[in-house]
Amino acid sequence: MKYAHIIFDLDGTLVDSASEIHEAAVAVCREHGLSIPSPEYIRTMTGSPPRLFFLDHGCSDADVEARVAEFRAHLATHAGDPGCVFPAVIPVLEHLQKHSIRISLATTKPSELAASLLERYGLAPFFAHIQGTDPPLQHKPHPDILHACMEKASPGAVAMVGDTIFDVEAAHNAGIDSIAVCSGAHSPERLTEARPTFLFASLQEIPGILELP
């Protein structure tokens, strides 16, 4: 397939950030006497709105937005370890960049936080556009943030790359192809049920489907 534009998810797709997310969630829960989420819970929930982390562990509706703000503040100061970047990521992004394929990011995180983390992960130079789920945009599987990425680009074939069914469903809802990778929150079986255009074990398989000279 000849894509002009590829949109990537962040957590579980480009970076194995579950431990960073878990650390931030645990810090907030301990501070406020909430029950402590397990690492497995966080891994399976990665990509979901973070308010669910706290509602599922005893936080009230009235307090949840404050807890989310504290969680994001912790990520802003503690996350972004380059060691979290999956080994295949930089070679794949370099390959796409070499062939003038536009690269965008579409993530649950706010745009400002996502941009800061990409800088620390060492990935920011590859991205033409960084799109977070900023109000009033809705979370995936709603296609809002994919549409926002596409509006910044020239017309052409587009694909969404992600590790969850929400990424696949967002691509379906945006009318574009989806490339599911089995590197993060959701199992191959669950991803298959969402009917992605392609299903790969890792990002390193992506160049094989591109019609490049």
Rounded (10°) angle between helices 64-78 and 18-31:
130
CB 157 within 8 Å of CB 3: yes
> What is the tens place of the pLDDT at every residue in 146-183?
999 999 999 999 999 999 999 999 999 999 999 999 99
> Each residue of 69-118: pLDDT tens digit?
999 999 999 999 999 999 999 999 999 999 999 999 999 999 999 999 99
Contact criterion met (CB below 8 Å) for 54 and 33: no
Q: Per-residue pLDDT tens for 135-145? A: 999 999 999 99
pLDDT, the chain, mean: 96
Backbone angles phi, psi at 4, to 5 degrees: -95, -20
Per annotation, catalytic residue among 9, 11, 144, 163: 9
What pTM, to 2 d.p., does this model score?
Answer: 0.95
Where do the domains of the chain lie? Answer: 5-16+82-209, 18-78
C-alpha 183/C-alpha 186 separation (Å) is: 8
Per the CATH hierarchy, to which homologous superfamily does domain 5-16+82-209 belong? HAD superfamily/HAD-like (3.40.50.1000)
Cis-peptide into 141, omega within 30 deg: yes
The predicted pLDDT at position 46 comes to: 85
User: What is the predicted pLDDT for the residue at 1?
Assistant: 78
- Active-site annotation holds for 9: yes
The C-alpha atoms of residue 21 and residue 43 are separated, in whole angstroms, by 9
